[in-house]
Amino acid sequence: MASNFADVFEGAKKARAEGRFGEAEQRYREALTISPDNADVLLHLGIVLGILERHEEALAVLSRGIANAPDYIDLHIAVARIKGWMGRLDEAEADINYILSIDPGNTAALELRRQQAAYRDQDEDRIWRLDIGYDQSRFNRVSRKDWHEANIQITVGSKQTQGHLRAERSRRFGETDTYVRTGAAHRLNGDLGGYINLGATPAASFLPRWKVETGADYRLRDGGDFLGPTIIKLDLAQKNYASGDIRNIDPGLQQYLFNGRTWLTGRWINTYDLTPSKRLPGWSLRADWQALDSLRLFGGIASAAETESGASVTTLSRYAGAILDVTSGLGLNFAFTRDNRKAAYIRDVFSGGLSLRF
């Protein structure tokens, strides 16, 4: 068994050195079946997962290695490096300080500190993204013309702080509305983040005259291989229509599974129609699966109030879709949604879009 382990481990290192990271991952995992708690294998596997941009998986593997070998400095260095790749620079700096408190002359930690200082300096100019989308809605149960909706959004900033400007143009009921929104999101640290969006529809016919959205998320626990990070969420919104205001208070929970390759998101939806002082409760459940490094599949179901022209009615929605990274700078997304609006209509929504990253 020992010689077999040595052969597998050396083969994995050779595949990594030659840039065959997928094969390297498979071989490292094979080595773990022979020696499950081997800190060297966990270190190398974590680094490969980081290179493949599967960062949550990488941190879970490295945390497992630290649990087995808490004094293995290279594991701590790898954790700091990957947190830096994720933009969690404050956490990475804390890890580097911990390493240097044990080994003040550690050259790898000192070099990593220098690299991350440079990364921090240029971090604010790193993200530029353009998203373009189009939806077409077709109706069953009632005779109604198709709805057509297009949107465009520009996002700039860093992994920690982002701002965006968005425009949506909707054609419904023979009329056209244009909604414009701006917003910002910021992560205070690796665990806590929040956002705020402000939008308005000039001369609105059916979209809200104005809308305010805000929310936050907090990571309760990091988790491990099977049961990964657990995140709580809270989303708040208020929309103003000619007929009155609609308010939402929606807490939620997100749970990562299977080394971060799958995650579930649940929300308790509370819609308040402020004109008649009526609360419409609802819920939603969504599942995401990172099938490939370049392909994510998702689907979900929700039963909640949908507001159309200021009127809120409980609607059962089912949807599924895919997000494909064609290249590092180009992504495509597709989705299908079926809305069953109680005692009204069934609406099929066909959605597509692209993302350009600069």
Within 8 A by CB and 6+ apart from 157, the residues are 124, 126, 127, 163
107 with 155, same domain?
no
| pLDDT tens digits, one per residue of 162-200 | 999 999 999 998 899 999 999 999 988 778 999 999 999
Q: What is the pLDDT of residue 314?
A: 83
Residue-wise pLDDT tens digits, 107-160: 888 888 887 776 666 554 567 899 999 999 999 877 889 999 999 999 998 878
Q: Looking at the structure, tell me whether residues 137 and 285 fall in a common domain.
A: yes
Question: Are 90 and 130 members of one domain?
Answer: no
202 SS3 class? coil
For residue 216, the enclosing domain spans 126-357
Q: Coil, strand, or helix at residue 191?
A: coil
Specify the pLDDT at position 119. 65
CATH, residue 309: 2.40.160.40
pLDDT tens for the chain, 358 residues long, are 445 888 888 888 898 888 888 898 999 999 999 988 899 999 999 999 999 889 999 999 999 999 999 999 999 999 999 988 887 888 888 999 999 998 888 888 888 888 777 666 655 456 789 999 999 999 987 788 999 999 999 999 887 889 999 999 999 988 999 999 999 999 887 789 999 999 999 999 999 999 999 999 999 987 777 888 899 999 999 999 988 899 999 999 999 998 788 999 999 999 998 766 788 899 999 999 999 888 999 999 999 888 776 567 788 999 999 999 998 789 999 999 999 987 778 999 999 999 998 8
Residues 346, 249, single domain; the answer is: yes
The per-residue pLDDT for 324 is 94
Tokens of 192: 């806590």
Cβ within 8 Å of residue 257, ≥6 positions away: 226, 227, 228, 263, 264
Total-model pTM: 0.64
Domain count, the chain: 2
Tell me, what amino acid is at 335?
A
Domain with residue 43: its CATH number is 1.25.40.10
Nearest CA-CA partner of 321 in 336, 331, 310, 307? 336
So what's the pLDDT on residue 311?
Answer: 66
Q: Which of 70, 95, 124 is the last residue of a domain?
A: 124
Last residue of a domain, one of 75, 97, 124: 124
Same domain, 146 and 281: yes
pLDDT for the residue numbered 2: 46
